[in-house]
Chain A
Amino acid sequence: MDDRDPDKLPFGRRRRTAASALIAILVAFVLGVLFNAPAMKKTATELPFGGQRSVRLALVSPAAAVSHWVFLDRPARFAAAALGKPDPGLRPVEVVVVTPRPTPQPTTASGKPRPQPTAKPLPKPYAGHPMHLYIAGDSMVGIPGMALVNLSNDTHLIKPLLDYRISTGLVRPDFFSWPAQLQRQVKAFDPGAVVVMWGANDNQGVQTSSGKVYEFGSSGWEKEYRKRVGDAIAILFDGGVRRIYWVGQPIVPDSTYDRQIRLMNDIFRGAAKKHPGVQYIDAYEVLSDGGGGYAQYLRDDKGEMQQVREADGEHLTYAGGMRLAKVVMAAIKAEWFGKKKPGAGSAASSPKASAKATPAP
């Protein structure tokens, strides 16, 4: 407890009245809102499409207009520019033009299907020439990604790069554009293989390039989401990536959210079947209990019980992440280090998925 005599504060300090402090707080609040209005508007804009977003925008937009009018939005913009940070306000969406991958496969002069780039033999990594593994996704890939980084380092033949962005996905490029990020990283890191995991934040409306918004789960949403999954695959292959390991979302205890996840997993699995060189990793199965239900704890290889999910029932603990990472690493090793015939990408697509796959939503 503060042992100072309240009536004899040091240096003769006067205490303030509650009203005076309230006015100071109000002044700070109003100025703070005006200083921060561009960022607040950006945050409101990035909310899922719906009523809450509209209300927030209705509240924040006038403040943003006033802030701009009285030049109080400038300090934050100047400071961000000086610090090399992104502008705090709304930014134009990074548009990535994706050339659709040709289907059916082009044929040779003799009429036989032309081999896909992914069908070429995979270069075997060796000391001094590691395979570059790019791991991308939302917060769900954070912990399994770290486990995968550790497993990769243990091989001394894989150079991993983990790149996870919380609250991101494929439906809101206005919040974070994964297509643009993939293009950048593929160019900079030149990965041979890529592990991706998205979907946890994609259970929301999606806006097409024409401006139409489709609610989650509608046929329009499914069509657009399939397109975005296909675009991501096309960007990676066009950048020279040889294999993609698409990790589905794991089972969750909330039945509504679980249904949504299963819908997205079906789309991921379908994309893996369609595109040679893409393998679906069924995280739903890997993290389910023996009966296919949600499990907070699972037994490891030695039979010891381990907590695999965080208290939120969604994110993975390190043990859970390692469990998933081992499955991904096994798939990578089978293709890059195994004796398997090279170019078996399409055949390797989700071999187990059809047997004990995510149940239909």
Chain B
Amino acid sequence: MLFPTITFAVFFLLVYAANWLLMPRFRLWKWMIIGASYVFYGWWNWRFVLLLVAATFVNQALGVQIARARRRRGGGRAAKRWLVLSVVANLAALGYFKYVDFFAVNLDHLLSSVGLGAPLPLLRILLPVGISFLVFRVLTYTIDIYRGELAPASTLDFGVYVAFFPYLLAGPIARARDFLPQLSSPRDPHSVDAGRAFILILGGLAKKILIADYLSTHIVNGVFASPQSFSSWETLWGIIAYSVQIYCDFSAYSDIAIGISLLLGFELPENFNASYTARTVQDFWRRWHITLSSWLRDYLYIPLGGNRKGRGRTYVNLIVTFLLAGLWHGAGWTFVFWGGMHGVGLALERARADARQARGLPEPGATAGTRALQRLAVFAFVSVAWVFFRADSIGGAFGVLWRLVAGLGSIGSAVTWPVVGLVVLGIGIQYVPRRLIERLEDGLAGIGWAGQGAVLALALFLIDTLGPQGAAEFLYFKF
């Protein structure tokens, strides 16, 4: 079920009413929200629901075993074994659904290159939507129990955590220790942060439909599918437009998910914070897909040793973490390359900072000019990396980049005023002061229900009228 559809609007209306009607009977509410989430997820393919059920029972059983082992004297090893089993089981499920064919094809290439080519069984495995998010989410449960930071929840609560539909498909990756406490008592029906929720939902829809979908169909898809048909100028704008598209698409999903959760009485972590205003690659990852980057930091980078094992190892850990982050995004070398670029970028930044520190040099001063240049440099780096993220193959990505210099001489017609305007808007909205957005939220919260309804209807009407016909899937569904 897609958020920007009439089907979801009807679904949400029913769920919202049931949510607050059943809230006083909290146990019944939990069953209701699990059922609604299964309907939401099963809308694509009902078989996917079995995955949610399996994830719930398997991880709950493992979480309980980990906690029991931890309570026993000398049970540390047993707890670790259960944890390893949990990690292996979840990664095996992810590997089966997402990576089997990728590894089979690459093994086939390898064997063929040494003259041992043999037909390998290739399966047509249907990738459950959002499985990568699901796996990362449930791993926070078992790992945090192992670390003693979380006690096992009831199976019913854990079932809600696994299936809660707003974040089910594309995050934010709400950690168990942040979400489960919200299931300890009914949400207060007298304290719904409706103003913020409505602004998040409307803003998300506008970003997705008006900016991301338009740029996708009017320049990005063409430039990446058939680069030789476009001039250098058009290619440059196509690449920039993709950077804006992916931000407006993915952050839109997060905003809508957070807004919907707020209306149901739950808070989800923030996932984007003016990402393209970053002045370093490290800063970018503190602003982009925040729940993923903090997950990678806490559950991968730090366990690998983080920065505690010397400089060289720190750089290696950064690169390894981001290579795996790339692979998490998709079963393809383009994603690995994209992750590698970010890993190397972070390692180089760290090395530069270490070198300055070793020589006793202070941090360079930041004038308005240097800040602007830093932002531009980071945006350029991130945009080039996105080319690999978007392209069908590494060769295809280099083909697009090559057009930046090979297509000089003509301007072309793909860079229209609407494209330029939406790119500028997509970047510009990241510079809107937070205080202004909060004032907007307050303004909407301050008017009565009739006014709110009218504003919502008018905004939805404008988005629908100005946007293209139909709604495209969110880019991050496939991850």
Contact call B445/A14, Cβ cutoff below 8 A: yes
Chain A residues whose C-beta falls within 8 Å of the C-beta of B23 in the assembled complex = 18
Chain B nearest Cβ from A291, distance in angstroms:
12
Contact call A11/B442, Cβ cutoff below 8 A: yes
Chain B nearest Cβ from A8, distance in angstroms:
13
Q: Is A318 an interface residue (CB 8 A)?
A: yes
Q: Is A330 an interface residue (CB 8 A)?
A: no
Q: A22-B17, A25-B16 are in contact. Are A79 and B465 (CB under 8 A)?
A: yes
A317 — nearest CB in chain B belongs to which residue? Answer: B392
- How many residues does chain A have at the interface if contact means C-beta atoms less than 8 Å apart? 56
Contact call B228/A150, Cβ cutoff below 8 A: yes
Chain A residues whose C-beta falls within 8 Å of the C-beta of B117 in the assembled complex = 303
Q: Is B354 an interface residue (CB 8 A)?
A: no
Q: A11-B442, A150-B228, A305-B105 are in contact. Are A27 and B192 (CB under 8 A)?
A: no
A13 — nearest CB in chain B belongs to which residue? Answer: B442
Contact call B192/A10, Cβ cutoff below 8 A: no
Q: Restricting to B412-457, which residues have a CB under 8 Å from any CB of A?
A: 435, 438-439, 441-442, 445-446, 448-450, 452-454, 456-457
Of the stretches A31-39, A124-132, A218-226, the one at the interface is A31-39
For the complex, would chain A's binding face be called helix, strand, loop or mixed by DSSP majority? helix
Q: A1-B269, A14-B445, A304-B112 are in contact. Are A24 and B105 (CB under 8 A)?
A: no
Contact call A24/B194, Cβ cutoff below 8 A: yes
Contact call A318/B392, Cβ cutoff below 8 A: yes
Of the stretches B120-128, B134-142, B366-374, the one at the interface is B120-128
Chain A nearest Cβ from B124, distance in angstroms:
4
Q: Is A347 an interface residue (CB 8 A)?
A: no
Q: A1-B269, A2-B270, A15-B194 are in contact. Are A311 and B226 (CB under 8 A)?
A: no
Q: Is B349 an interface residue (CB 8 A)?
A: no
Q: A1-B267, A35-B461 are in contact. Are A20 and B453 (CB under 8 A)?
A: no
Chain A nearest Cβ from B111, distance in angstroms:
10
CA–CA, A79 and B229, complex, Å: 34
Mark interface residues in B385-415 (1 if CB within 8 Å of A CB, else 0). 0000000110010000000000000000000
- Indicate which residue in A19, A35, A313 contacts B124 across the interface (CB closer than 8 Å): A313
Chain A residues whose C-beta falls within 8 Å of the C-beta of B195 in the assembled complex = 13, 16
Q: Is B210 an interface residue (CB 8 A)?
A: no
- Indicate which residue in A28, A306, A318 contacts B460 across the interface (CB closer than 8 Å): A28
Contact call B453/A28, Cβ cutoff below 8 A: yes
Q: Is A353 an interface residue (CB 8 A)?
A: no
Q: Restricting to A161-180, which residues have a CB under 8 Å from any CB of B?
A: 166
- Indicate which residue in A80, A150, A309 contacts B226 across the interface (CB closer than 8 Å): A150
Q: Is B76 an interface residue (CB 8 A)?
A: no
CA–CA, A107 and B463, complex, Å: 60
Chain B residues whose C-beta falls within 8 Å of the C-beta of A31 in the assembled complex = 453-454, 457-458, 461
Mark interface residues in A175-219 (1 if CB within 8 Å of B CB, else 0). 000000000000000000000000000000000000000000000
Chain B nearest Cβ from A156, distance in angstroms:
11
CA–CA, A207 and B253, complex, Å: 40
Contact call A305/B269, Cβ cutoff below 8 A: no
CA–CA, A290 and B59, complex, Å: 43
Chain A residues whose C-beta falls within 8 Å of the C-beta of B112 in the assembled complex = 303-304
Mark interface residues in A24-60 (1 if CB within 8 Å of B CB, else 0). 1111110110011001100000000000000000000
Contact call A296/B457, Cβ cutoff below 8 A: no
Contact call A13/B457, Cβ cutoff below 8 A: no
In the complex, besides A36-B464, A166-B470, 14 extra interface pairs with C-beta distance below 8 angstroms are A1-B270, A16-B192, A18-B192, A21-B192, A21-B263, A23-B453, A25-B453, A28-B453, A35-B460, A150-B226, A294-B124, A317-B392, A318-B392, A318-B393
Q: Can you spell out 27 A-B residue pairs with CB atoms less than 8 angstroms apart? A: A2-B270, A9-B442, A10-B435, A13-B195, A13-B442, A14-B446, A15-B192, A15-B194, A16-B192, A16-B193, A18-B189, A21-B263, A21-B452, A24-B449, A28-B454, A28-B457, A31-B454, A32-B457, A35-B464, A36-B461, A76-B461, A146-B226, A150-B228, A297-B101, A297-B122, A304-B109, A307-B105
B residues with a Cβ closer than 8 A to A are: 6, 9, 13, 16-17, 19-20, 23, 101, 105, 108-109, 112, 117, 120, 122-124, 126-127, 178, 189-195, 197-198, 225-226, 228-229, 263, 265, 267, 269-270, 392-393, 396, 435, 438-439, 441-442, 445-446, 448-450, 452-454, 456-458, 460-461, 464-466, 470
